[in-house]
Amino acid sequence: MTVKNLQDLLDEGVDGRHVLVRSDFNVPLNDAGEITDAGRITASLPTLNALLEGSAKVIVMAHLGRPKGEVNAKYSLQPVADALSDELGQFVALAGDVSGEDAHERANGLTEGEILLLENVRFDPRETSKDEAEREAFAAELVDLAADDGAFVSDGFGVVHRAQASVYDVAKRLPAYAGALVGAEMEELTKVASDPDHPYVVVLGGSKVSDKLGVIEALADKADKLIIGGGMCYTFLTAQGHNTQKSLLQEEMVDTCKDLLERFGDKIVLPVDLVSAPEFSNDVETTVTDVDGMPEDWLSLDIGPESVKKFAEVIATSKTVFWNGPMGVFEMENFSQGTAGVAQAIIDATRNNGSFTVVGGGDSAASVRVLGLDEDGFSHISTGGGASLELLEGKELPGLAVLND
């Protein structure tokens, strides 16, 4: 897919023009409302800096959480505005609304090289509406903020798989360009999706088999090995006949896992030991057992050290690795070692094998930073979990397709 990019826009000139930018600032917050992983904010800086240096009047659209179409202070973008101010070295004002009077007044008052952040676009129910007319009406209001000489830059890779007003419908109304982040994501992920070097190892984790079924089906023929950990592994282990006690289980997916094991069993690699506890807590005793040795009524919250070793041996043979999903509840120290060990094995493959290694966004990308791992040890860390998976599945992503129209 060939689309106009940020450099094309800069070459055309942005001096004094209003440029609407769709960024992905869906960052995690703690109970105090503080950002705990600013990776997506950092990833947005090249595009924003380039536009500001080109003397554009920048208006940024983004969402945070799932406010369900209602104004909710818990999901305000104020923490993002504060973080952006620090990162950009200039004040980033937050509009008091999304496309209303305050947003218009502030947009009209922008001067060259200034930036405005609109309030959470998902405060307006039309952003995610299934009714195309409702989305288009909201998009028209957003486009009005950009005046007659406006342009649109799509730079929120984490949302390009959604046909939402600020992602899709705005792009149909303005000259549209791929931002630096979206361009880099497309380039790096296409290497994995189209022609990966072999051996090609896919590492999947996360909680639900149903969330990853599409990518398993799509990659099973392309990959040499599919390593499965995280909450989803317990459904596969149950399908093999193991008793995983009270571990997370999608009962309705057991038969599906049996079918996958029958068709791709020689490629699927599952844990051989587990770390379990009597309850979902970091403050209780833990034990490591093989997959049949879990204490009655306990639940597993991580893969064990032998599983890490087994997975690492497979990863060590790779030339391409795609990883999406943690191996356990990495946010709790007692259940973080599986994710840390597998991530380190991927880093080792990058450095020792020259493997092309991609972290597929979401919790995987967050775990790299939370666990203090070397981000430079991976070839690419994606900002979009769902988007990266759908791109690898071969699905058309609306937010990218519209840039090609």
Contact by Cβ (8 Å): 165, 123: no
Are 169 and 224 in the same domain?
no
Does residue 275 lie in a domain region? Answer: yes
Residue at 398 is within a domain: no
Show the tokens assigned to 71: 């104004």
Indicate whether 224 and 354 sit together in one domain. Answer: yes
Closest CA to 383 of 17, 60, 2, 37: 37
For residue 124, tell me if it sits in a domain.
yes
b/e string for 341-364 if b means 16 or more Cβ within 10 A? bbbbbbbbbbeebebbbbbbbbbb
Contact 96, 119 (CB under 8 A): yes
Q: Strand pairing partners for 117?
A: 60, 94
Residue type, 244: T
Identify whether 405 is part of a domain.
Answer: no
Q: Three-class SS string for 176-238?
A: EEECHHHHHHHHHHHHHHHCCCCCEEEEECCCCHHHHHHHHHHHCCCCCEEEECCCCHHHHHH
Q: Is residue 396 part of a domain?
A: no
Q: Global pTM?
A: 0.89
Same domain? 245 vs 316: yes
Q: Are residues 235 and 337 in the same domain?
A: yes
In a domain, 404, yes or no: no
Task: Write the CATH number for 217.
Answer: 3.40.50.1260
Does some domain include residue 344? yes
Q: Are residues 149 and 41 part of one domain?
A: yes
In a domain, 400, yes or no: no
Same domain, 340 and 193: yes
Q: Using CA atoms, how far apart are residues 202 and 270, in angstroms rounded to an integer? A: 12
Question: Residues near 167 by Cβ (< 8 Å), separated by ≥ 6?
Answer: 22, 154, 156, 159, 160, 398, 399
| Domain membership of residue 76 as a residue range | 6-181
Together in a domain, 263 and 361: yes
Q: Is 383 in contact with 350 (CB distance < 8 Å)?
A: no
Domain boundary among 134, 164, 181: 181
Cis before 199? omega within 30: yes
Residues classed as catalytic: 40, 208, 362, 386
End of a domain among 181, 207, 236?
A: 181
CA distance 276 to 293: 10
Where is the binding site for substrate, in residues?
24-26, 40, 63-66, 122, 162
Together in a domain, 139 and 213: no
User: What's the average pLDDT block by block, 10 residues per block, for the chain (405 residues)?
Assistant: 88 97 95 91 97 98 96 97 97 97 97 98 98 97 93 96 97 97 93 93 92 89 95 96 96 95 95 97 95 96 98 97 96 96 98 95 88 94 90 91 84
| Domain shared by 214 and 279, yes or no | yes
The domain total for the chain is: 2
Point out the annotated binding site: 24-26, 40, 63-66, 122, 162, 212, 331, 361-364
Q: Residue 292 and residue 397: Cα distance in Å, rounded?
A: 42
Residues 177 and 193 placed together within one structural domain of the fold? no
- Tokens representing 10 are 């800069």
| Residues facing residue 115 across a β-bridge | 58
Structure tokens given for 261: 């094991």
Can you read off the two tokens belonging to residue 4? 């106009």
Domain boundary among 122, 156, 181: 181
Binding-site residues for (2R)-3-phosphoglycerate sit at: 40, 122, 162
- Indicate if 95 and 243 belong to the same structural domain: no
Q: Are residues 80 and 59 in the same domain?
A: yes
Q: How far apart are CA 300 and CA 219, in angstroms?
A: 27
Residue 350 is predicted with a pLDDT of 97
Binding residues for ATP: 212, 331, 361-364
Tell me the three-class secondary structure of the chain, residue by residue. CCCCEHHHHHHHCCCCCEEEEECCCCCCECCCCCECCCHHHHHHHHHHHHHHHCCCEEEEECCCCCCCCCCCHHHCCHHHHHHHHHHHCCCCEECCCCCCHHHHHHHHCCCCCCEEECCCHHHCHHHHCCCHHHHHHHHHHHHHCCCCCCEEEECCHHHCCCCCHHHHHHHHCCCEEECHHHHHHHHHHHHHHHCCCCCEEEEECCCCHHHHHHHHHHHCCCCCEEEECCCCHHHHHHHCCCCCCCCCCCHHHHHHHHHHHHHHCCCEECCCEEEEECCCCCCCCCEEEECCCCCCCCEEEEECHHHHHHHHHHHCCCCEEEEECCCCCCCCHHHCHHHHHHHHHHHHHHHHHCCEEEECCHHHHHHHHHCCCCHHHCCEECCCHHHHHHHHHCCCCHHHHHHHC
